[in-house]
Structure 1
Amino acid sequence: MGNGKQVAAGMALALGAVLAVTGCGSGTGAGAGAGAGGPASSPASSQEPAPDAAKTTALLQLNEQLRQKLGPAYSGSWIEGAVLHVAVTTQAAKKIVTGAGAVPLLVTFNASQLEAAVRAVSRWQSTLPAVQGRAIHKIIPDGRAGTVTIYVAAEQIAAVTRAAATDKPAGNVPLLIKESAGLPTPL
């Protein structure tokens, strides 16, 4: 592979990782359609061939252009089946996404609202008893599902769930609590 193709492939992988990390990657499965304006599809099968680096780079560039153009109507995005899907909050934005050749999904909350909910949950985490606060390993927004998901150590799920039900730290954004596979570690 030539240098240009290696750079493009590297950029595509890095940008794909950014989409996944920012909650713009695959959906969340159970409950994904709640509050999202319709049912969310399941993540792409591992048997599905990955799009080539050039296609992925083009889709990521289109996503960035749409994110800028849509402004507050943008909620999130993901690539599935070599197609860009974009979650939006208005019918006008839905038309823009369709016109750009991507697949729109009408949802309730935009990216800013979801990020504000993540910050609120993070602040709430610091008010919990230390054992519960440390048990929260990850907090992520999901524009596709219109939720914030927190990943909690198994031994504290019940306590954190009770506290979240009482305190409602994400406001009107649905909060999903899932068992954590452990603390994230750098690659």
Structure 2
Amino acid sequence: PAHALPGLAGTAICRRLRAAGDWTPVIFLTARDDEVDRVVGLELGADDYVTKPFSPRELLARLRAVLRRTSGVSAEQPRTLGAVTLDPARRTVTAAGTPVQLTSTEFDLLAHLMARPGRVFTREELLAGVWGYAAHAGTRTVDVHVAQVRAKLGPDSVIRTHRGVGYAADA
């Protein structure tokens, strides 16, 4: 339609942002007001979903609410979960204060999980977000890398398996 985004649909853009671990605030502004469309947008990781017509006052209030929820969260700030601290800017990890040597991919995997503590990622989401692979590429590599990160973190590992679903970083 003439009113749609050029090139990619908003859902595809949101999916790519979230798969890449980018937690930039996302608000859908759309004429699509079916419940299914709203649920899909929110499940893809949108922070809000506003349907047309809307008033400028309502949009401003929703923008302020999303910014309140997301302000102060920087991708470059160190994150601590349990005994594990990950510093994205320096690309360092410590477990109980002891430096842990991770490969670049292992670091990216742990950073991706720790960016959203408690959020369960499927193997396919991790493949897309960490490796940039399509879901059909095979998920065994995710399991192998998770095992390697767990071994290196030892008893302080924050990666949990959610059987039949995927992995999450939990304290």
Q: Is TM-score (shorter-chain normalized) higher than 0.5?
A: no
- TM-score, L = length of structure 1: 0.33
TM-score by length of 2: 0.35
